[in-house]
Amino acid sequence: MKYNDIPGWFNPIDQAGFAWALDFQNDTGTKGDLLELGTFLGKSAILMGQKLKPGERLTVCDLFEEVMTWEGTNPVEKAFFGNKTPTRQAFETNYLAFHDQLPQIVQGPTGEICGHVAAGSCRFVHIDASHVYDNVREDTASARQVLQENGVVVFDDYRKPQCPGTAAAVWEAILNDGLQPVFATDAKLYATWGDPEPLRRAIIARARASDWCRTGDPVAIRDMAVVRLARNGK
């Protein structure tokens, strides 16, 4: 199986964003678990699993096939899946094509994740499950609870017209709840409740050293800043 054959929405620019953020943590001695809320067929989880160090754990949470019947699923979101309904079996097959062992799998709504992942245990959380305001708000609160100081949270679809609830929950956390943006791609926003500067500097350096992407100038938001990570020419 080839990685690029796995269906999903995890673009090369965010594959770089994840890899560089996790490499930065690994290079600076940060230890902790990884958590993904919304894993679909495993494209982003597989990359996260590649960055685990000995003793660390990846947990993924997804309704898998139950997403089509769960009462909280937004009909608009169901339409995104098209004929690609996620199944737990397909996820496990994909994951095991790239890793010897499965991650911890929590099959159920993401609102239950704090019953499975200890407070302060994680260094990296990817929020990519429901894109409805109440659910993203709840997932953001869960991320804050499970993340350690300077842990990184990544939000999918923070600016897509079809997902205004995600945008509302993300900016609410930034403007009212101490979340600091670090860098952003067209699809994902990377943020922390800790110090955003060291990771931002590392991402700018990795982009400068690459021959295929770049960062823009920092854009101020109140007393904060964010830089855009994009492919050259975009």
Which parts of this chain interact with ligand SAM (CB under 6 A)?
8-10, 38-40, 43-44, 61-64, 67, 72-73, 86, 109-110, 128-130, 135
Look at the block and give the residue holding tokens 């609102």: 111
Query: Of 24 and 40, which CB lies nearer to ligand SAM in the complex structure?
Result: 40
Compare residues 95 and 183 and give the one whose CB is closer to ligand SAM. Answer: 95
**Shortest gap between Cβ of 100 and ligand SAM (angstroms)?**
21
Going by the DSSP 8-state scheme, the letter that residue 187 receives in this structure is S
Nearer to ligand SAM, 9 or 171 (CB): 9
13-47: string of b/e by CB count within 10 Å (b at 16+)?
bbebbbebbbebbeeeebebbbbbbbbbbbbbbbb
Residue 61 vs 122, nearer CB to ligand SAM: 61
The CA distance from 116 to 105, in Å, is 10
Q: How far is the CB of 199 from ligand SAM (least distance, A)?
A: 21
Name the residue whose CB lies closest to ligand SAM: 8
Pairing relationship of beta strands 180-184 and 224-231 according to DSSP bridges: parallel
Q: How far is the CB of 227 from ligand SAM (least distance, A)?
A: 22
* DSSP single-letter state for residue 186: S
